[in-house]
Structure 1
Amino acid sequence: MDHSEPYSSVGLGQRIRELRVRRGLKQQDLASEEISTSYVSLIEAGKRAPSDTVLGTIAEKLGSSTEYLRTGRDQHQMEEARLKLAFGEMALRNGVDGEALQTFSELLNGNLPLDATMKRRARMGQAAALEKLGRLEAAIPLLEELFADPALAAGSDEWCRTAVALSRCYRNMGDITVSIEIGERALSKLDSLGLDVTVDHVQLGSTLMASYHMRGDQTRAHLLGQRLIPIAEKQGARASRGAVYWNAGLVAQSRGQMAEALALTERALAMMAEDDNVRHVAVLKMNYGSLLLHTESGDAARAKEFLEEAQQSLAESGNADELARCELILARADTMLGNWDEAAAHAERALGLLGTEPRVLAVFARVALAQLHFLRQETGRGVQALEAATRQLRHFHASYETATCWRRIGDLWRDEGHAKQALAAYDAALSATGLQTTPNPRDALSEQASR
């Protein structure tokens, strides 16, 4: 049965007939002083649309509800579906992502009736659960389908959340170009609608800032941050303001302005600490811990305190990508503290969390392990890890993130005395930033001579 069938006299008549036959009743059994047998026959044939009063009398005799006769949706089943949907959304908020995914999948594939709005909520929940579980390749098609749905009104809260999630998933998959295209189109659409500037602008803008940052486009990210901060301050929502300062801190760090980066991140942390989103606060603590490792003093002990707090929260409410990133920063902190075995364990856990899907983060994990092998005089294993990282990194699009990774690989090859491999990695890092190799005039002359 099509649970989403709209109200029509034909569908209604078919349902009345099906229920009557199922209950062993005749048409005259539905008749009364107000309803003749012939009128019942016309209703079942779809040639008459009964009034609410007549429909109520027929529903009572059939032991059904008028809601079911009109729409094919049983009120009790609808309530069960609503409760199950709410349970899935609660599980998602509480970080029980596997249970949330199972609940949404059962709703979408089961027999409970769902109207169009409930279906969209269940699909969005399913995509969110897949993203938090690190299954980005499965989440993206669902989000693409939702975003292309004409019933999803541009500028609505659902539309904005879908745009943010889709842009974020592509970014975390390493496809920064597509991530930015989605974010720019969505933000431009919001602007073109002529609506009052809202928190949705801030959320979309923050996501776009992060993608600009990862591509290495720090000027655009900085300019967007300058536009968003006054909007966020005007809106007054502490979480959205915190998100803008958070990304502005990342941009300042990339521009080498560490004091400003720390100040912005501290401000974001103060704003978001009062928010009930445990995951956001945890990710911000992780970023703050990472910043502390990059300061001149390199306060690894204090950074580790923030990172361990973040790790505990992310284990309950974060996704695999965020937890893996936290493990890698903890590996860096323990490396700086001389705890090399603990650092290696963190890097191994990061690799395990990232699974088999292609991630730049997995390359960073292999590079971290290579460094630790070299520190522990395990030269052979270090070379193997670094060669594996190099092979894997070649498959990703050029971005600020891949350039950073190539630079780290080059530094490790250099420190171990492998000049040829170091030069190749540095060359790849420069290419990832958009700088191309300078042509050698001798090569052109040799080519002309060979013709």
Structure 2
Amino acid sequence: MDEPVEIGRRVQRLRTERGLTQRQLAEPSYTPAYISTLESGKVRPSETALRFLAGRLGTSYEELTTGRPARLGTELRLGLTDAQRELATGAADEAAVHYRRLLTDAEHLDLVPEQAEALLGLGDCALETGDLEDARRHFEEAERLLGEEPLPRRARALRGRAVAHLLAGELRYACYLLESAIDGLAASDLADPEALVLLYTAVIGPYIDMGAHARAAHAAELALALAPRVSDPALVAGMHRQVARTFLAEGRTDDADASLARAQSIYRQLRLHTDLAHCHWMRGYVHAQNAELVPAERELRTARDMLTAKRATLYTAQVEVELADVLRRLGRHEEAAELLSALLELDDGHGAVHAGGAHRLLGLIAEERGDPEAAEEHYVRALGLLERSGASGDLADLCRLLGDLLRRGGRVEAALDVYRTGLGHRAAPGTTTLGPSPATPPFRPH
């Protein structure tokens, strides 16, 4: 709201334009003297008075208090909805252009909630294109703008920031952000179901990557219990997609496939192309786990084509690691190696987990081709990358592969050292980070 002097001048201008006297404007609720005092800027009018005057002057409360036509805010909010749809159905870099224009407009109009929404959209665009520094910056700025808002309103910004760190290979810090937010909701009696499902869903992936399967399963259980209270279908679909990962970790492939089918159906109805691509990706992974390699290749190629069309660089890289593994298992080593070679450039800190996965697969291919020296080189590179990320489960498996290779080459002591390293990662507390797991919300899900 503007200062009383500005509001007073605006009331006087609108009254004069409409040919009203102070008495005509004031009656029947106020006096001409009150209108005179208000127009001179000597009193701060109440919301009730301003709404009355707005009605008498034929304008909106927002325009009277800020000088900003209400239609501008409405048009901006409609534009944000269009940009969100553009991100879901088109290319992220094109949606980002739209979001940047809307952010400039929101800043000019001093509309803070709309500024935050535009920044969240820009963060999501940056995640898709792999610009993780930009993504973190946008989410942090959105969080700053929403700093006075309750924690549930900041959940999307927190979740986005955590995903940016996760994709950069910083699993522990991603868990820290999400666990802290969940604990904050529990401690403040702000256990908003949608915010909690968003955060529980986001923390499942890093838990599994770090080998904390019990925590992942507990987060999935709580998210499923809260799902009936969630009205956003896309959020429910995302939950089913991540819950499928916990089913896979438990060997429940049929349950995982059913969960993915539910998510896929929702995404198809909503035309959320990136999320639909993720479902194809995970269904390919399920087929690969069941040694159904031909349908696995088909699903993964579908996911890759969809993500490539949206220029979702980092997500495409993740799918290509899975696809290369399927090609390797089909005996198509040349195709797999060619696919993986382009991913090795991701070891600069953006996508270290995926670059580590690529080196691991190239090591397996080298072993299968009878080149133990090349295999060892790739395994060691993968070890360095995965140690930076804290991906305990992948590290333990990699140490087993490297240890076996060294043992077969007669380097028993070196092999024992590597095995111990792997056991150390596998035996690390069932945890991730920082202590006890997040608190259960202060209400009983039903």
Q: TM bucket by the smaller chain?
A: 0.7 to 0.9
What's the offset of the Cα at 1:334?
0.6
Identify the match of residue 342 of structure 1 among 330, 335, 343.
335
- How is 1:305-384 mapped onto 2 (pairs within 5 angstroms)? 305-317=298-310, 319-351=312-344, 357=350, 359-376=352-369, 384=377
Aligned residue in 2 for 1:443: none
Q: Which amino acid aligns with 1:7?
A: D
Which residue in the other structure is 1:264 paired with?
255
RMSD: 4.5
Structure 1 residues not aligned, in runs of 5+ = 1-5, 21-28, 437-451
Does 2:144 correspond to 1:153? no
Between the aligned partners of 1:302 and 1:172, the Cα distance in structure 2 is 27
Partner SS state of residue 255, structure 2: helix
SS in 1 for 2:266: coil
Q: Secondary structure at the match of 1:429?
A: helix
Q: Match of 2:354, as an amino acid? A: L
Structure having the higher Rg? 1
Given candidates 246, 266, 270, the residue that maps to 1:251 is: 246
Which residue does 2:136 correspond to in 1? 140
For 1:58-97, what aligned pairs fall within 5 Å after superposition? 70-73=65-68, 78=73, 81-97=76-92
**Residues of 2 paired with 1:329 and 1:363: CA distance?**
13
Pair 1:408–1:118, CA change in 2 (3 A): farther
Identify the range of structure 1 (323-332 vs 365-374) with the bigger mean alpha-carbon deviation: 365-374
Q: Which residue of 2 aligns with 1:447?
A: none
Moved more, 193-202 or 284-293: 193-202
| Cα 1:245/1:275, change in 2 over 3 Å | closer
Match of 2:276 in 1: 281
User: Residue by residue, what CA displacement relative to the aligned partner does 1:237-292 show, whole Å, maximum 9, x if unpaired?
Assistant: 876665555444433443xx43x2x1121111221221133333332332232233
Please, which runs of 5 or more residues in structure 2 have no aligned partner?
Answer: 23-33, 430-446
- Contact 1:238-1:272 within 8 A present in 2 as well: no
**8 Å contact kept, 1:78–1:114:** no
Quick one: distance in 1 between partners of 2:6 and 2:266? 49
Aligned residues with identical type, % of pairs:
22
Q: Does 1:131 align with 2:140?
A: no
Could you say if the C-alpha distance between residues 395 and 66 of structure 1 is closer, same or farther in structure 2, counting changes exceeding 3 Å? closer
Aligned-pair CA distance for 1:335? 0.6
2:125 counterpart letter in structure 1: A
Relative to structure 1, is the Cα distance of residues 354 and 113 closer, same or farther in structure 2, using a 3 angstrom cutoff? farther
Name the residue aligned to 1:442: none
The aligned amino acid for 1:143 is F
Amino acid at match of 1:361: H
Matches within 5 A, 1:372-451: 372-376=365-369, 384-397=377-390, 399-411=392-404, 422-434=415-427
SS at match of 1:395: helix
Residue range with higher mean Cα deviation, 393-402 or 232-241: 232-241
Aligned amino acid, residue 173 of structure 2 = V
Following superposition, the deviation at residue 311 of structure 1 comes to 1.8
Distance 1:291 1:10 in 2: 66
Change in CA separation of 1:324 and 1:113 when aligned onto 2, cut-off 3 Å: same
Q: Does 1:294 align with 2:289?
A: yes
- The answer for the alignment partner of 1:441 in structure 2 is none
One-letter identity of the residue aligned with 1:113: L
Number of equivalenced pairs: 411
Higher mean displacement: 419-428 or 319-328: 419-428
Distance 1:195 1:9 in 2: 35
Q: Counterpart of 1:182 in structure 2: which amino acid?
A: L
> Aligned-pair distance for 1:318?
7.8
CA contact (8 A) 2:2 2:65 kept: yes
**Structure 1 residues 408 and 45: alpha-carbon distance in aligned structure 2, compared to 1, 3 A threshold:** farther
Q: Distance in 2 between matches of 1:330 and 1:136?
A: 23
Q: 2:196 aligns with which of 188, 197, 201?
A: 201
Q: Cα 1:44–1:231, aligned 2, differ >3 Å: closer, same or farther?
A: closer
Query: Could you tell me whether the CA contact under 8 Å between 1:407 and 1:429 is conserved in 2?
Result: yes
What TM-score does the superposition give when structure 2 sets the normalisation length?
A: 0.73
Shift of the 164–15 alpha-carbon distance from structure 1 to 2, 3 Å rule, reads: same
Range moving further from structure 2, 374-383 or 245-254: 374-383
In the alignment, which residue of structure 2 is the partner of 1:117? Answer: 113
User: RCO (CA 8 Å, sep 6+): is it higher in 1 or 2?
Assistant: 2
Determine if the alignment matches structure 1 residue 168 to structure 2 residue 159: no
| Conservation of the 8 A alpha-carbon contact between 1:96 and 1:317 | yes
Deviates more, 1:185-194 or 1:128-137: 185-194
Instruction: State the distance in 2 between where 1:112 and 1:234 align.
Output: 37
Please identify, of 226-235 and 207-216, the stretch whose mean Cα deviation from structure 2 is larger: 226-235
Relative distance call for 1:410 and 1:231 in structure 2 (3 A) is same
Q: 1:289-338 CA deviation, whole Å, 9 max, x = no partner?
A: 2233233xx22112112212222233345843322111011100111111
Alpha-carbon distance in 1 for matches of 2:223, 2:397: 27
State the 1:419 CA deviation: 5.6
Q: Is the 8 A contact 1:371 1:412 kept in 2?
A: no
Tell me: CA distance 1:197–1:9, structure 2 relative to 1, closer, same or farther (3 Å).
Answer: closer
Q: Which 10-residue stretch deviates more, 349-358 or 361-370?
A: 349-358
Shift in alpha-carbon separation, 1:30–1:273, aligned structure 2, 3 A: closer
